[in-house]
Amino acid sequence: MALPVKPSPWSSKSIQGVLLDISGVLYNNTEDDVGVAIDGSVEAVERLRKSGLPVRFCTNETQCTREQLVRKLSRLGFTLGVSEVFPPAPAVCQILKERNLRPFTVIHPSCDPEFADIDQNDPNCVVLGDAAKYFTFEKVNKAFQTLMSLEKPVLISMGQGKYYKEAGGLKLDVGAYMKALEYACDVKAEIVGKPSPSFFNAVLKDMGVDASNAVMIGDDIVNDVGGAQACGMKGIQVRTGKFRPSDENHPTVKPDSYVDNLAAGVDLLLQNR
């Protein structure tokens, strides 16, 4: 006797909007900064667009500006509009302006232009991004000294990622340095970017889609998938990018689905469309 088939959670047409992570889902970066597209991802994005589903690119990328990221991805075959890309830096600038904050930034030099019209004299807060090799002891120490000199220290971290994948292997991400400063200064960082709910909600608002009708596809089980689920969205975990086998049995996050890559994830979403 045939066993009853469980209906796929993706068979209903309740998904009305898709959020995609970039690094580890669309492409992996390389040391020469050119990057390499992940197999099937260019075509997968095209298929999503053709389906009529709104798509937004939700990234914690802080090693370059939005424009540079879009140009880089277009050289790999992707077609993204700058207004579809949501990195943390513009959101941070808005917060800095609203709260009269002048930052000491520890960021990749290529991200500097995002802060071009922010007053950085006489800093009264610290902003961290993925500075990679620019996370020198001197820079981090200066950030520490800045925070310790403030009566009300404010530490803003663009994401809290532990590591990310680059062609050479896994690399320490901004979260590690956020923890270093939190510990040394006994302060709590404010996270701007995934998995902060206000970040996800800003993207959903832009799409005009309710969280319950949206899905995030990402490689970071905590910040992409867990963060999205915490906001009421569905979360699909890809096995590319920074994914590690131990993520199949994560102690706290249970993705709605695991797929080998973005192409497989899009197959799942479009199977009944």
Partner 1 sequence: MQTLRRFPLKSLDGVFVCCFRKMTTVPKVEAVLIDLSGTLHIEDTAIPNAVDALKRLKSSGVKVRYVTNTTKEPKRLLHNRLTQLGFAIQLEEIFTSLTAARNLVEARKIRPLCFLEDEAKEDFEGIGVEDPNAVVVGLAPSYFNYEPLNKAFNLLIEGASLIAIHKARYYKKKDGLALGPGGFVEALEYASGVKAEVVGKPEKTFFLEALRDLKCSPQNAVMIGDDVRDDVGGAQAAGLHGILVKTGKYREGDEEKISPAPLATCFDFPAATELLINKYL
Q: Which is nearer to partner 1, 175 or 227 (CB)?
A: 175
Q: How far is the CB of 180 from partner 1 (least distance, A)?
A: 3
Is there a contact between 104 and 146 (Cβ–Cβ < 8 Å)?
Answer: yes
Residues that bind partner 1 (CB under 8 A): 131-137, 140-141, 144-145, 148, 162-163, 169-173, 175-177, 179-186
Q: How far is the CB of 184 from partner 1 (least distance, A)?
A: 4
Q: How far is the CB of 135 from partner 1 (least distance, A)?
A: 5
Task: List the beta strands (DSSP E) in 36-79.
Answer: 36-37, 55-58
* Strand partners of residue 236: 217, 257
Sheet of strand 190-192, all strands in order from the earlier edge strand to the far edge: 103-106, 125-128, 155-158, 190-192
Q: Which is nearer to partner 1, 11 or 136 (CB)?
A: 136
Give helix then strand counts, H and E, for the chain. Answer: 8, 14
Q: Which is nearer to partner 1, 57 or 177 (CB)?
A: 177
CA-closest candidate to residue 35, choices 165, 223, 131: 165
Residue 2's CB: how many other CB atoms inside 10 A? 4
Q: How far is the CB of 181 from partner 1 (least distance, A)?
A: 6
Q: How far is the CB of 158 from partner 1 (least distance, A)?
A: 16
Q: Which is nearer to partner 1, 148 or 167 (CB)?
A: 148
Q: Which is nearer to partner 1, 160 or 229 (CB)?
A: 160
Tell me the C-alpha distance between 227 and 21, whole Å: 12
CA-closest candidate to residue 220, choices 20, 8, 16, 67: 20
Q: How far apart are the first and last CA of the chain?
A: 30
Q: How far is the CB of 165 from partner 1 (least distance, A)?
A: 12
Q: Which is nearer to partner 1, 165 or 234 (CB)?
A: 165
The first and second tokens of residue 201, run together, are 């909600």
121, amino acid identity: N
